[in-house]
Structure 1
Amino acid sequence: MIVREHDMGLVMIEQHEHGRLAGEFAKQLKAGILPPDDPYTDDLITAVYEHDRGWIALDKKPLWNEETGRPYTFVDYPLEPKLEAYEQGLNEVEEMSPYAGLICSLHFVSFTQQAHERLWQQFVRREEQRQERLRHQLSIGKEDPAVLRHFRLLQLCDDLSLYISLNEPGVDKEEEHPWFREGFANTEFLNARSAKRLTAFWKEKERVEVLPSPFSEAFEVTITYRKLAKERIRLMGGETAYRASTPRTASLWIK
């Protein structure tokens, strides 16, 4: 679950919805960035859309942190059930497309926040075995530059979706979530002119601009979320208040 404070309540976005938004970004990438005749273009788009599908079941019944009065998020969710969900999701993605499974596995192994945890280290070892098996199955070398490029494109689409999900629409640059104030990590390869990171800006509450843009033209996207008042959470309890809430949809333009 993605959660941010809003006025007197919480805005909550399910992880798979965030993944769907990321997939929409992947579909809109310039042909020079993701060529339509690339043999793995469709597989990469599948990877981006489906990378967080392991959260589907967890987000249908949010786990509430009574100490904070908020649900656990993708950042602080208890590690053991989170890793079980990650692995289940990766298994499902691999069934859809072995190449998508490889790219998504690389994505999850790149997380470092809990690298010191024994359970995380065991998860990484299992995923490295998956990666080796899939590379052999697909006849792809470990240093294949196309795989790294596709992995970086997944990261970009994931980060741009998180940028939209974690920030209040229209926020000033200096008030943005700290992850993205200095641009999107590992995107310098998409900016040959200056070799600087791609950076996003809220131009209005319904418009986001990325500079330099990886997209060929402006396009509209939607995102579904739920808004819970803190008083309602206090009276009903978090999980009940979430189930009783009505999904809402916001539209915005990306350039």
Structure 2
Amino acid sequence: MIVREHDMGLVMIEQHEHGRLAGEFAKQLRSDVLHPDDPYADDLITAVYEHDRGWIALDKKPLWNDAMGRPYTFDDYPLEPKLEAYKQGLDEVEEMSPYAGLICSLHFLSFTQQAHEKLWQQFVSWEEKRQERLRRKLAIEKNDPAVLRHFRLLQLCDDLSLYVSMNEPGTDKEAEHPWFRDGFAHTEFLNPKAAKPLTAYWTEKERVEVKPSPFSESFEVTITYRKLAKERIRQMGGEMAYRASTPRTASLWIK
């Protein structure tokens, strides 16, 4: 779950919805960024859309963090059930497309916050074996530059979706979530002249601009979310308030 706090309560976005939005960004990439004749273009788009599908079941029944007054998020969710969900999601993506499974596995092993945990180290070992098996199946070398490029494109689309989800619409640059104030990590390859990362800005409450843009033109996207008032959470409890809430949809333009 992605949770954004505001004065009246919480804005909550399910992880798979965030993944769907990331997939919409992947579909809009310029042809020189993701060429339509790339033999794995469709597989990459599948990877971006589906990378967080392991969260589907967990987000239908959010685990409430009473100490924080909100659900556990993707960032602080208890490790054991989170890793079980990661594995299940990656198994399902691999069923859809072995190449998508490889790219998504690389994505998850790029997380380092819990690298000291024994459970995480076991997960890493499991996924390294998955990657080795899939590379053999696909006849892909370990350091294939095309695989690295696709992995970085997934990260870009993921980060841009998180940017939209974790920031209040219209937020000034200095007030943004700190992850994104200095641009999107590892995107310098898309801005070789300046050798700087791509950076997003809210130009209006319903408009985001990426500089330099990896997209050929402006396009509209939607995102579904739920809004929970603090008083309703107090009266009903977090899980019941979430179940009783009505999904809402917001539209915005990306340039």
TM-score category of the 2 structures, normalised to the smaller one: over 0.9
Separation of aligned partners in 1, 2:188 and 2:67 = 40
- TM-score scaled by length of structure 2: 1.00
Show the counterpart of 1:65: 65
Q: Residues 14-44 of structure 1, C-alpha deviation per residue, up to 9 Å, x if partnerless?
A: 0000000000000000000000000000000
1:99 aligns with 2:105: no
Instruction: Determine helix, strand or coil for the equivalent of 2:153.
Output: helix
2:46 aligned partner: 46
Distance 2:69 2:206 in 1: 29
1:175: which partner in 2?
175
Gaps of 5+ in 1: none
Q: Which residue of 1 aligns with 2:74?
A: 74
Q: 1 CA distance for matches of 2:28 and 2:192?
A: 20
Task: Give the distance between the partners of 2:249 and 2:6, measured in 1 at CA.
Answer: 16
Deviation at 1:192, TM superposition (A): 1.5
For residues 244 and 117 of structure 1, the distance between their equivalents in structure 2, rounded to whole angstroms, comes to 36
User: Over residues 62-111 of structure 1, what are the superposed CA-to-partner deviations in whole Å (9 max), with x where a residue is unaligned?
Assistant: 00011111100000000000000000000000000000000000000000
Distance in 1 (CA, whole Å) between partners of 2:183 and 2:68 is 29
Which residue of the partner structure matches residue 226 of structure 2? 226
The alignment partner of 1:49 has SS state of helix
Equivalent residue of 1:209, what SS?
strand
Looking at structure 2, the residues matched to 182 and 120 of structure 1 have their Cα atoms a distance apart, in angstroms, of 28
Cα-Cα RMSD:
0.3
Q: In the aligned structure 2, how far is the partner of 1:66 from the partner of 1:26?
A: 36
The one-letter code sitting in structure 1 at the alignment partner of 2:47 is A
Where does residue 20 of structure 2 map in the other structure? Answer: 20
Identify the residue that residue 86 of structure 1 maps to in structure 2: 86
* Alpha-carbon offset, residue 7 of structure 1: 1.8
State how far apart, in whole Å, the 2-side matches of 1:23 and 1:183 are: 20
SS at match of 1:249: strand
* CA distance, structure 2, for counterparts of residue 195 and residue 26 of structure 1: 22
The CA distance in 2 between the partners of 1:146 and 1:21, in whole Å, is: 23
Whichever residue aligns with residue 145 of structure 1, its letter is P
Tell me, what secondary structure is at the counterpart of 1:251? strand
Q: Percent identity?
A: 85
Q: Distance in 1 between matches of 2:23 and 2:160?
A: 11
After TM superposition, the score normalised by the length of structure 1 is: 1.00
For 2:5 and 2:68, how far apart are their aligned partners in 1?
A: 12
The answer as to 2:205 corresponding to 1:205 is yes
The residue type equivalent to 1:237 in the other structure is G
Give the AA of the match of 2:224: T
